Amino acid sequence: MEQYAVEVKELRKYFPIHAGLLHRTVGHVKAVDGVSFGVKKGETLGIVGESGCGKSTTGRMIMRFLQPTSGDILIDGKHVDEVTRSEAGEFRKKIQMVFQDPYASLNPKRSVGQTVAEPLIVNRIMPRADAMERAAKLLETVGLKSQDMHKYPHEFSGGQRQRIGIARALALNPRLIVADEAVSALDVSIQSQILNLLMELKNQYHLSYLFISHNLAVVRHISDRVGVMYLGHLVEIGPKHSVYSNPLHPYTEALLSAALEPRRQSRRQRIVLQGDVPNPANPPSGCPFHTRCPKAMKVCRMDSPEIQEVSAEHLVACHLYA
């Protein structure tokens, strides 16, 4: 299966809850509970969902920042657990990340050139002088000036800092970039600059993106396919046109109807969901969405629906389509 840049199978992450004097484990927060998907080479897969749905945890497991509780992660068709120590470095270089907060993710004591050159130096790809030269070129690639490499993060605006973060991610020529809320902290006029840059770079460097965001319009704009997560589960995934114009899962439908747009004429019928997302330490039985679902049936309270293909490449986990 060479066609996926990264593939995850039945990925799970349970965080233990400790309590009491003896620090006993009294339960688990099921942050990610059996998620499977793949990012094809050269595609952008968008993952949307609300806070606590497990989208960031999924991204962090793919980055190997977190060890999965169970499940498989395959990079270029190869299982990450089977990678030998000597290959491990190579593997890490293939995946890079762009973070949400452009203020927190850059070292304030390092010049921007040092920050961007750092991955090249620690991975012993080139000597320091060459690395700094490459850093200067990378800054130009992301729309900054090569002279900027001697400046420090505080001298840049939020949008420019996000460009620096992107330059750093590009340094190692990765195959896949995991972007976790990469434009969420930016103002609208700057957000569109960064989105355009990401799309341009993707074509230029044949990148794949896993683009994690809560913003439905942004995800629609940048993605080829879109996955929707709710309470640790992937409830729907498919080509973006299919998901946005014909949402199958009642949650996707509600999410889309709740998104607000500055075009008054394009208002759709609004579905306002009642209540809050349940606590992932104590998820409901059956379908995780049944407590808020306007279309819940008896079976939804008992059985958790399997994700299945309903139309071409469009999968949904919902008993309505069983």
Which is nearer to another protein, 188 or 312 (by Cβ)?
188
Which is nearer to another protein, 139 or 171 (by Cβ)?
139
122 binds another protein (CB under 8 A): no
Candidates 21, 22, 23, 51; binder of another protein (CB under 8 A) is 51
Which is nearer to another protein, 96 or 100 (by Cβ)?
100
> How far is residue 129 CA from its own chain's centroid?
34
- Give pairs for 256-265: CB < 8 Å, separation 24+: 256/216, 259/216, 259/217, 261/217
191 binds another protein (CB under 8 A): yes
Q: In 3-state terms, what secondary structure has residue 240?
A: helix
Which of these segments, 29-37, 113-121, 170-178, 188-196, binds another protein (CB under 8 A)? Answer: 188-196
One DSSP character per residue, 26-50 reads: EEEEEEEEEEEEEEETT-EEEEE--
Which of these segments, 100-108, 118-126, 147-155, 263-271, binds another protein (CB under 8 A)? Answer: 263-271
One DSSP character per residue, 289-304 reads: TTTT-TT--HHHHH-P
Which of these segments, 19-27, 92-100, 123-131, 216-224, binds another protein (CB under 8 A)? Answer: 216-224
Which is nearer to another protein, 126 or 273 (by Cβ)?
273
Neighbours of 301 (CB within 10 A): 13
17 binds another protein (CB under 8 A): no
276 binds another protein (CB under 8 A): yes
Site string for another protein, 238-257 (x = CB under 8 A): ------x---------xxx-
Candidates 263, 269, 312, 322; binder of another protein (CB under 8 A) is 263
For the beta sheet containing 4-19, the strands, ordered from the edge strand earlier in sequence to the opposite edge, are 24-40, 4-19, 70-75, 78-79
Candidates 17, 122, 217, 302; binder of another protein (CB under 8 A) is 217
Which is nearer to another protein, 67 or 245 (by Cβ)?
245
> How far is residue 109 CA from its own chain's centroid?
28
Residue 146, amino acid: S
Phi, psi of 315 (to 5 degrees): -110, 145
Cite the DSSP H helix spans in 67-157: 85-94, 112-122, 128-141
Binding site for another protein (CB under 8 A): 50-51, 157-160, 187-193, 195-196, 199, 214, 216-218, 220-222, 244, 254-256, 258-264, 266, 270, 272-274, 276-277
